[in-house]
Amino acid sequence: MSDWREISGSITAPRGYRAAGITAGLKASGLPDLALIVSDEEAIAAGVFTTSVVRAAPVDYCRQILQTKPSARAILCNSGQANAATGSQGMTDAEECAQVLGEALNIPADSILLASTGVIGQRIKMDILKAAIPQLVASVSETGGDTAARAIMTTDTVPKSIALETTIDGRPVRIGGIAKGAGMIHPNMATMLSFVTCDAAVSPSLWQEMLSRAADKTFNQITVDGDTSTNDSLIALANGQSRTPAITEKSPEAEKLEAMLTAVCQHLAKAMARDGEGATCLIEVVVSGASDDRAARQVARTIAGSSLVKSAIFGRDPNWGRIAAAAGRAGVHFDQKDLQIRLGNFLLMENGQPLPFDRSAANEYLKKAASGTFLQDDTVLISVSIGNGNGSGKAWGCDLSYDYVKINAEYTT
């Protein structure tokens, strides 16, 4: 049993946060495209960003801010233009966004973190964005989390959000999160934005460590298509408004908070993998018996990211040979005589030996997942054991359909 419960409110469920999402006119579609998250007080801030050497201006901006001041009051995110590969003007635009919003909120510009998503190579439509700031600021509310989640979407088909609550030192502590991402998703961060709010009091170094570990177990364990991006940003705020004692070192309270943070990130990560462009189901790969957790996660990522495995799942073909091949090329040593593979409840291989199984029933299992309800009964479970070690890990992906090519072949047209 988890030591927390799911609650409503997403990023505004924790105390002391307001949010908004509006249609500013940045997107030609006329859909919501500008989001704002505000903490009533300066919050400890942590971030994990893209590993790409081609980075969007807001990524470099946030890195610079957090290196000098690991705190923030607000996060501004635009959708429609990525502000990536835009040269020096891109950074100038990012700095102006922070300056204009800071004046509207009456807070320092360096208390604002930024994120952008959209087409790479396009600058933010600054005149439109600046004109929308007064409306955006006026719209923030304690119930604005859902509108913010919609405003950061691009090719997403559903908004992604969650909030959890636990008890620390007799008082409720909450963590909320929203995310976007459906394509260009792969480990080492992906085309994703995620914003997390928390009302616990945590030291800056510990909060960053918690977030980095959570990202390794969740966002860095999802894959849709093998591509990573220029804009990936995971930003987490902790404002202390729960009024619980500050968590500054390893302790049971720290472990509980990190576990809940990881659960929030895992839910958002799975939602992104399930919402992969053109996907019909979620794939969860569970690996055990590895020498350590890192090795297990590596094998799980490789299987989840295999185009052949993903294509077989889309074709409802229980082709376990593709799973075995992906495990074998993951770069993790194991004796193939120890390999065990399950698809749902179907045992396909044991001790490195293929086993007879009901292929028609396995096909029906895959079909049922494809017709299941989003993140409820739409998961194809692949379980793999590679030995007798204590290492275990999970990864999430989705099937690879014809629609993925259609969506991306016409992305800018």
Which residues are identified as catalytic?
191
Length of the chain equals 413
- Classified as helix, coil or strand, 68 is helix
Ramachandran region, residue 389 (left: φ > 0; alpha: ψ -120 to 50; beta: rest): beta
Q: 261 and 144 in contact (C-beta within 8 Å)? A: no
Q: What is the DSSP string of 323-336?
A: HHHHHHTSS----G
> How far is residue 268 CA from its own chain's centroid?
5
| HEC letters along 255-299 | HHHHHHHHHHHHHHHHHHHHCCCCCCCEEEEEEEEECCHHHHHHH
| Residue 116 identity (one-letter amino acid) | S
Q: 44 and 235 in contact (C-beta within 8 Å)? A: no
> How far is residue 206 CA from its own chain's centroid?
20
Separation between Cα atoms, residue 220 and residue 230, nearest integer Å: 15
Bridge partner residues of 116 (DSSP): 78
Q: How far is CA 191 from CA 30, 56, 194, in A?
A: 22, 11, 10
Separation between Cα atoms, residue 41 and residue 240, nearest integer Å: 9
